[in-house]
């Protein structure tokens, strides 16, 4: 067994070429506990953290991190403007780009087809009810 990253990390995803692993983690400074949400990228063979990409606060939650079919970027769910869309962050750096442009609702999951030409996703709305119970007299 080989350790790829020495820290808390979630939802690892292997790149299409099998050479890298992307994962979610929280950066810490050692004194304040949890810090900013980030995407980390390490070599699948092990080694040091190669990339650390800070995400906006609107991405907190279920990122559902995925590699793009070409392996040059990672995609994630971001809830900017109270609507969830899929954003793509180039691994080489630069600003993320919005891939979907929904005006309402939530994205629950997404995946590319094997040939990388289509994107399937599950989306909708989340609702809940609150009920107050009081003792009857």
Tens of pLDDT, residue by residue over 90-121, are 999 899 999 999 999 999 999 999 999 999 99
Give yes or no for residue 137 having a pLDDT over 90: no
Three-state secondary structure call for residue 42: strand
pLDDT at position 24, please? 92
Q: How far is CA 135 from CA 8, 129, 131, in A?
A: 45, 20, 13
Give yes or no for residue 20 having a pLDDT over 60: yes
Give yes or no for residue 31 having a pLDDT over 50: no
- 61 neighbors 79 (Cβ within 8 angstroms): yes
Q: Where are the beta strands (DSSP E) in the chain?
A: 10-14, 20-26, 37-43, 49-54, 66-67, 73-78, 85-90, 97-98, 106-112, 119-124
Least-confidence region, from 7-21, 26-40, 103-117, 123-137: 26-40
* Range 67-78 average pLDDT: 96
- The domains located in the chain, with CATH, are 10-124 (2.120.10.30)
What are the pLDDT digits (tens) for 32-66? Answer: 456 788 999 999 988 789 999 999 889 877 789 99
pLDDT at position 95, please? 94
pLDDT band at 9 (very low <50, low <70, confident <90, very high): confident
Written in H, E and C, the secondary structure of 84-108 is CEEEEEECCCCCCEECCCCCCCEEE
Q: Of 51, 63, 72, which Cα lies nearest the Cα of 108?
A: 63
pLDDT at position 107, please? 94
pLDDT at position 48, please? 86
Q: Is the dihedral of CA 67, 94, 6, 20 positive or negative?
A: positive
């Amino acid at each position: 067994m080989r350790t790829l990253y020495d820290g808390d990390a979630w939802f690892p995803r292997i790149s299409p070429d099998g050479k890298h692993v992307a994962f979610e983690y929280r950066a810490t400074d050692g004194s304040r506990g949890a810090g900013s949400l980030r995407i980390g990228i390490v070599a699948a063979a092990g080694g040091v953290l190669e990339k650390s990409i800070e995400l906006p606060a609107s991405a907190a939650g279920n990122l559902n991190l995925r590699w793009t079919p070409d392996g040059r970027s990672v995609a994630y769910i971001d809830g900017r403007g109270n609507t969830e869309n899929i954003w793509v962050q180039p691994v080489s750096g630069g600003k993320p780009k919005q891939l979907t442009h929904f005006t309402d609702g939530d994205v629950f999951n997404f995946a590319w087809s094997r040939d990388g030409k289509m994107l399937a996703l599950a989306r909708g709305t989340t609702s809940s009810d609150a009920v107050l119970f009081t003792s009857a007299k």
